Amino acid sequence: MNPRLADVIAVLDRLYDPSWAESWDAVGLVTGDPDQPVRRILFAVDPMREVVDEAIAGSYDLLVTHHPLLLRGVNSVAATTPKGRVLHDLIRANTALHVCHTNADNANPGVSDALAQALGLTNLRPLNPLPTDPMDKLVAFVPVADAEKLVEALAAAGAGQGTHYDQAAWTAPSHRLGAAADAASGGEVRGAATSSAPSDGVPGREAADAAGAAGGGGPVAWASVGEMTFRPLDGSNPATGRVGHVSRVQEARVEMVLPRGKRRAVLGALRAAHPYEVPAYDLIELVAEPGDRGGGRIGVLEQPMDLREFAQRVADSLPRTQHGVRVAGDPARTIRTVAVVGGAGDSEFARVRAAGADAYVTADLRHHPATEAVAYGEGPALVDVAHWASEWPWLRDAERLLRDGLAAQGSTVETHISTLCTDAWNVRL
């Protein structure tokens, strides 16, 4: 069954979430009707005139490119300009255009993963990692008999969700919560707060927090038991106890980690499932750590080789261009650890040096940044390739991952990767 364009875009957005794009970028659907059927898809680095002609002549329903057609704002798309004519032709041919640019650079796997794998690198990690998705930790206090029900409700709203575990819980010996709660509020509100306080070091506690924050399990909760003491005052409607009398209730302290984007839903579930008028809870914003997404990659060669041999591997592994492969460094230098950035990468020299890379493969190296980098005696050898060539290997990954994602939902499409070289330089003297 052929998918709709909206179905294809949904898979692409899961692979290359638009929120991962840099703030200055322009990614996503440029032309196309979300309800139109998609039978054939063409992948290319650039939405250049010749690539668009290839897509239209081949009756492709969707053209997926890495680079944007409209990176900067425009006031007109009239057919009197080259880009305007491209847009008019795409629309007339009913060919959709979708862009995955820096959101694909920052994905895992993304553009630099494909380049690194093409060069035979292993043990990949981001050169410039993005922080993990922002997470909160909810600490709620609930009568013991209602704790399991509350955990289930919070999990259904998105707390404690992960990949490899289900219904996991951590417990610790009982402890007393304190002599009294805020009597003015009926004794049921300990308080709600936002802070960056660390975990308190209870054995197993950090494991629970880390599992939730890293997406390693779910639903996950940490619980301990204590005693709540309170006296309801006039005007209160306590779920347990009597107005004017001191009550003691065995309560569970339940802790669950949640994505910050689900904060509203989880707090709503807390209030709906909790037996008290006003639940007692703390909400703690967790510190974001470096994640597995981000720009560039650091990897290692399975077998060390000298720079001359490594540069030849780069030349043999990437599409041929008039730019060729330019090298700066001692040809006899041993190369083990390699940094790569698909596309322009001379802004990353400091990170490459800090990572201890023996060689740096990227594109568009300018004279002054390159000469300054070479001036560092312990810095990496430089291997400069064409911008288009450094990003072309990603097309194969994007094609495979999209096909797999569509197949998982019962859809099939025909795909093709454009081999037209759209590098700007076409003559070398």
Distance CA 58, CA 52 (A): 10
Tell whether 391 is in a known binding site: yes
Closest CA to 285 of 315, 261, 254, 318: 261
Distance CA 353, CA 349 (A): 6
Tell whether 98 is in a known binding site: no
Tell whether 302 is in a known binding site: no
Distance CA 325, CA 83 (A): 31
Distance CA 277, CA 289 (A): 36
The single-letter code of the amino acid at 130 is L
Closest CA to 136 of 264, 257, 269: 257
DSSP state of 108: S
- H/E segment holding residue 200: none
Residues in contact with 194: Cβ distance below 8 Å, sequence separation at least 6, in sequence order: 283, 284, 285
Closest CA to 26 of 130, 114, 98: 98
| Residue 164 burial (10 A CB sphere; 0-12, 13-18, 19+) | exposed
Tell whether 414 is in a known binding site: no
- Measured over the CA atoms of residue 147, residue 150, residue 152 and residue 155, the dihedral's sign is negative
Q: For helices 49-57 and 82-92, what crossing angle results, to 10°?
A: 10
Whether 421 and 47 have beta carbons less than 8 Å apart is answered as no
Whether 88 and 36 have beta carbons less than 8 Å apart is answered as no
Question: Which tokens sit at 141?
Answer: 């206090």
Residue at token pair 């862009």: 99
Q: For helices 393-408 and 111-118, what crossing angle results, to 10°?
A: 120
Whether 83 and 49 have beta carbons less than 8 Å apart is answered as no
Tell whether 309 is in a known binding site: no
- Which residues are annotated binding-site positions? 66-67, 105, 387, 391
- Which residues are annotated binding-site positions for a divalent metal cation? 66-67, 105, 387, 391
